[in-house]
Each structure stands twice: as structure tokens, then as C-alpha cells.
Amino acid sequence: MSASAKAGQEAGQEAAALVRLTDVSKFYGNIRALEGVSLEVHAGEITCVLGDNGAGKSTLIKIIAGLHQHDAGTFEIEGEETKLASPREALDRGIATVYQDLAVVPLMPVWRNFFLGSEPTKGAGPFKRLDVERMRETTRSELLRMGIDLRDVDQPIGTLSGGERQCVAIARAVHFGAKVLVLDEPTAALGVKQSGVVLKYVAAARDAGLGVVLITHNPHHAYLVGDRFVLLKRGAMAGSHAKSEIALDELTRQMAGGSELDQLSHELERAPVPDVIGGKHVGSGGE
């Protein structure tokens, strides 16, 4: 590929960013929650945001989801600079957020939760009612399209495993036209098998053409599906890498603190214990 063609391709990739944050900061009074954070979300790619508790991941989610507005920097959606006023505006602009605790009604059936807040109706006037058959059939077909084969969409969603509920939420976002899917620690409370199931459907959302933001503290999960990695530490950028630029071991090391972890390891090394009896050092040859 010629240099000019490569430059044109890179320019096209820049223009294709669904969401771009540049040096975004958020302050609560004198408290710095986020400072100078930059990331990009492209269609058909997964951007992983990694960090420990208190790193600023939740604040970043709230800015992208429209819950909070940033105080400095720029937030662009498809090249247009914006400040989202509410989660509804974020949804209208194609950004869907699936939180760790999942906004579901456990005793309601799967199909009702799938359409919660966006229920289709039929009839008019006093004969207007929920189009239950349409919701059942749409839920069943949309889940199957994502590769999710539930036994019965009439079962209460609370009877599903944590991984299955996450998958239903992902399929719902895809169905309602999300362009960007933000996932808040989707595997945090799951075992190995269920985590694998969720990551499979995260990849399915990417393959459906969505731009995905995966928030996690698990570098192994991130590396399985991620295309880009942004590391946060105490509200600031600690690193930004494409997958081709970093190995899993180095990603894990950077997230764990790198030099700080090395220093801790040195401090925890067991010091040699002197052989002392009665306050006297005892040698091999006696006194």
C-alpha cells in the first residue's frame, strides 16, 4: 500500500469514529474524578476500559451515557461535538448502556423485560392494548439472531442466570438500534463458564457492526475480545494501546501497577532470619 493510500485509509478510520473523547475531565468541587481521558469507539470494534476500583471507570460511563456532563475536553458523536443532557438523549443518539446491576423486573417474563418502556400496542381508543404476541415473537427471534436460544420467553427473567440476563440486555440494545453499546463490568459477578457466554455475545454485538465499550477490571477477559485498550488509574490515563501493540502479560502488568507491583514484591520478600539463642548468635562451631 502506498503512503498516500495508507494516509487516506487512516483519515477514513478517524472520520469513522462513532464516539471520540479527547482530554475529557470531570470535577466534583475540588475532587478530580476524571482528568485528560481520551478514547475512540469505532463500528465493529471493542474498546476496553480497564482499571481498579476508584480508577474513574464509573464516571467515564456516566459521561458517555448522558448521566453527567464533562467539565473540560471534547465529546464527539459521529464527528459532532456534544454534551448529552440525559440518558434519553444518549439513547436517541444511538448510545445504549447496560449496567452491572441490570435494570430488569425479576418477576416479569423475558419478553416484557425486553420491551420494558418501549411496549408496542395495537387497537385504538378504549380497545388499545399491548401487542403481546408481537413482543413474544420479536423477543424470541431477536435472541435467536444473536445466537441466544432460551427455553421459554414467558419465564420470569429472574429465573435466568446472570450471564443469560446480560445476553438479553445486549440483544435488546441491538434490536432497538444502538450504534454504541457500553457494558459496565458484565462479567464481574459471573463464573468462568458464564463469563465466556457473555463475552461470546459481546463479540456478536461487535460483529453486528456496533461499537462496543467494555468496562472491566479483568485484563484476561478484555484481551480475549478487545481491539483497543484504555487504562485508567486514579481518574487519569495510564495507557492506551491497540491490541497489536501490547501482549496480555504487559497489559496485565500495566493494569496491576507495573513498577509499583515490582516495588511491593521487593518489600514483601522475606528477610533472612538470624540464628539467635539467648541473645547470642550461634555459629556452626558452637561458642
pLDDT at 262: 59
Q: Over pLDDT 90: what percentage of the chain?
A: 47
Q: Is the pLDDT of residue 51 over 50?
A: yes
Which of 163, 162, 124, 120 is closest to 139 using CA atoms? 120
Locate cell 496491576: which residue?
Answer: 256
Using CA atoms, how far apart are residues 255 and 249, in angstroms rounded to an integer?
A: 10
Per residue in 195-214, pLDDT (tens digit) is 888 899 899 999 989 999 99
Q: Which of 73-87, 93-107, 228-242, 250-264 has the lowest mean pLDDT?
A: 250-264
Closest CA to 186 of 197, 175, 176, 172: 197
What mean pLDDT, rounded, does the chain reach? Answer: 84
What tens digit of pLDDT does each residue of 34-44 get?
Answer: 999 999 999 99
* Angstrom distance (rounded) from CA 93 to CA 179: 8
Highest mean pLDDT among 86-90, 102-106, 147-151: 86-90
pTM above 0.75, yes or no: yes
Q: Is the pLDDT of residue 5 over 50?
A: no
Return the DSSP state at 271: P
Q: Would you say residue 259 has pLDDT above 90?
A: no
Give the model's pLDDT for residue 264.
57
135 pLDDT above the threshold of 70: yes
Please count the other Cβ atoms lying within 10 Å of the Cβ belonging to residue 212. Answer: 27
Provide CB contacts within 8 A for 200, sequence distance 6+: 147
CA–CA dist 231, 109 (Å, integer): 38
Residue 27 has a pLDDT of 92
Amino acid 146: pLDDT: 80
Could you tell me the domains of the chain? Answer: 16-109+174-268 (3.40.50.300)
Cα gap 65→90, rounded to integer Å: 6
Whole-angstrom distance, CA of residue 233 vs CA of residue 40 = 18
Contacts of 142 (CB under 8 A, 6+ apart): 114, 171, 172, 174, 175
Is residue 174 predicted with pLDDT exceeding 90? no
Strands (E), the chain: 17-28, 31-42, 46-50, 72-77, 80-81, 95-98, 121-122, 129-130, 180-184, 211-216, 228-233, 236-242, 276-277, 280-281
pLDDT reading at 12 higher than 50: no
